Amino acid sequence: MYEAMIDPTAGTATAAGGGRAGRPDRLDGLTVGLLANTKKNAEPFLDAVGELLAGRHGTAGVVRRKKLSITDPVPAETLAELAEGCDVVVIGVGDCGSCSASAVADGIAFEAAGIPAAVICSDAFRVSADAMARVAGNAGYRYACTPHPVAPLDADGVRERARQVLPELVALLTAPQPAVAR
């Protein structure tokens, strides 16, 4: 029936013990990597996130890359290129079970490479995303959720979803700020 079983964790480094890369305090002046998969609306969604990060958080620029498969891990050369040229990376959009799992594996790989990552998955596939985190030795890995589905949205819907998830992405990419004593 099946010729091969694809393991999205194969060839993927993991951050031992559920570790995360160090976070910047703010995003202003930083370069953001946007790693899209081949799912419909993934690139427009991440483009909208990039525009919002620039407009609201003063990021300096973006580096856009697209995986050729929703299930395969980020290619080593793409991971190295984004890790070299970016301060933080946003990955998405996990809008099915296999692409959600793969996106989480990619986020964990970037964290292991020392790059803060924020993964976007649709809420219907939390089970797949959480299972991948456990399989990759990073149970409890945090990612951002957007309502399912993303693929059939029109351009306005995509921009609105990006706007809605932006605060969660910023929280995932930056260090928590201590409360100011009054």
Query: Which CATH number goes with the domain that contains 64?
Result: 3.40.50.10350
- Please check whether residue 145 lies inside any domain of the structure: yes
- Please check whether residue 1 lies inside any domain of the structure: no
- In terms of residue numbers, what domain contains 81? 26-173
- Please check whether residue 181 lies inside any domain of the structure: no
- Please check whether residue 99 lies inside any domain of the structure: yes
- Please check whether residue 101 lies inside any domain of the structure: yes
User: Using CA atoms, how far apart are residues 71 and 39, in angstroms rounded to an integer?
Assistant: 11
Beta bridge partners of 91: 35, 119
Closest CA to 97 of 129, 130, 74, 120: 129
Predicted TM-score (pTM) of this structure = 0.89
User: Using CA atoms, how far apart are residues 110 and 74, in angstroms rounded to an integer?
Assistant: 9
Domain count for the chain: 1
Burial of 173 per CB tally in 10 Å (0-12, 13-18, 19+): buried
- Please check whether residue 4 lies inside any domain of the structure: no
Torsion sign, CA atoms 156, 42, 25, 142: positive
Q: pLDDT truncated to tens, each residue of the chain (182 aa)?
A: 434 434 444 444 444 445 799 999 999 999 999 999 999 999 999 999 999 999 999 999 999 999 999 889 999 999 999 999 999 999 999 899 899 999 999 999 999 999 999 999 999 999 999 999 999 999 999 999 999 999 999 999 999 999 999 999 999 999 986 655 55
Distance of CA 162 to the CA centre of its chain: 13
- Please check whether residue 8 lies inside any domain of the structure: no
